[in-house]
Amino acid sequence: MVQAYTERTGRDEDGLEPTGSRARRLLRRWRHDRGIWRRGRVTAGCAVLLALVMAGHAYIPNRIGNLGSLLETFLPWLGLLLPVLLVAGAVRRSATALLALVLPVAVWLNLFGGLMFFDRSGSGGNFTVVTHNVNARNDDPAGTARKVAASGADVIALEELTDEAAPAYRKALAGRYPFHTVQGTVGLWSRYPLRNSAPVDIKLGWTRALRTTVDTPHGDVAVYVAHLPSVRVKSDKGFTAGQRDASAEALGEAIADERLSRVILLGDLNGTMNDRALAPVTAQLRSAQGAAGDGFGFSWPASFPMARIDQILVRGVDPASAWTLPRTASDHLPVAASVTL
């Protein structure tokens, strides 16, 4: 009786229609729907527009509120619009919308699919570096230093050092890192000797960048530590990044004049690798995260990371792996990379 009932109704013993039958019935309904190509044109237009914005982000001008740089800072998050458009197209039963959705999906995968789905990290590396914006209002500098030192890095760069907190960082790191230099609000702690340490002028009127030579067992490496000015989103001015952009240009000039072939830049650049305003720097160096990281490696804000503005950039060395470290008392996550000198 149950078998006869099932054959007659097309449902199983629990009264449920098999998934395959429901899908075939839905396809038949769509196939005979004369409006399937006419509906959803607005959704299709939005899909095409999204594809154009992602593919042509470099052409969106910065003249009005630095809109281009703002978009590029959060460019990967445009992917969240893809499932929204998919649901809209499905609800509207629009073949036009669903077909148009292929365009932004393809563009997003081309831009970020490698970061999202492939682990580029490998084994090896003979020099590990860490950078961390410790936050000037950090209420546990000693604990923050211990957590960062637990990474076992060969050198540690810290940004947003204050006169009050700097002694705590020095004391906490002294045991593992006997060599250090602090220039203004940035510092570098190293297992190996440092030479020719000096501030780098990034056109701010006070020191937020330094350059030093690290005397490693594998030869000299020029290490830069920088904290570029913060950016803000204001209702009346848009994305205010002029001071940061000028500092990026000055930092790029300093790196261009570097005589050593092996260069590592550590710091909070207040911008992502997609941001065209950082081109004076990023055009000369490559990202350790982009070359050897797993995922996007977002570092800010620490409570819910949405962008990677803390960078490890290199020239003349090979990144082996890159990762973020556990959260400290700062509003940034520390980021680390292992490279082969």
**Mind listing the pLDDT tens digit of every residue in the chain (341 residues)?**
444 444 454 554 545 455 556 666 656 665 656 678 888 999 999 999 999 999 999 999 887 777 888 899 899 999 999 999 999 999 988 989 999 999 999 999 999 998 878 777 777 899 999 999 999 999 999 999 999 999 999 999 999 999 999 999 999 999 999 999 999 999 999 999 999 999 999 999 999 999 999 999 999 999 999 999 987 665 554 556 778 899 999 999 999 999 999 999 999 999 999 999 999 999 999 999 999 998 999 999 999 999 999 999 999 999 999 999 999 999 999 999 999 99
Distance (Å, rounded) from C-alpha 192 to C-alpha 179? Answer: 7
Burial of 91 (0-12, 13-18, 19+ CB in 10 A): exposed
Tell me the pairing of strands 179-183 and 335-340: unpaired
Beta carbons within 8 Å of 124's beta carbon, 6+ residues apart: 320, 338, 340
Q: Which two tokens stand for residue 311?
A: 């960078």
Q: What is the pTM of this model?
A: 0.85
The residue with tokens 């602090």 is 182
What are the structural domains of the chain? 33-117 (no CATH), 127-340 (3.60.10.10)
Amino acid at 62: N
H/E segment holding residue 290: helix 288-292
Q: How far, in Å, CA of 236 to CA of 234, rounded?
A: 6
The amino acid that residue 327 corresponds to is R
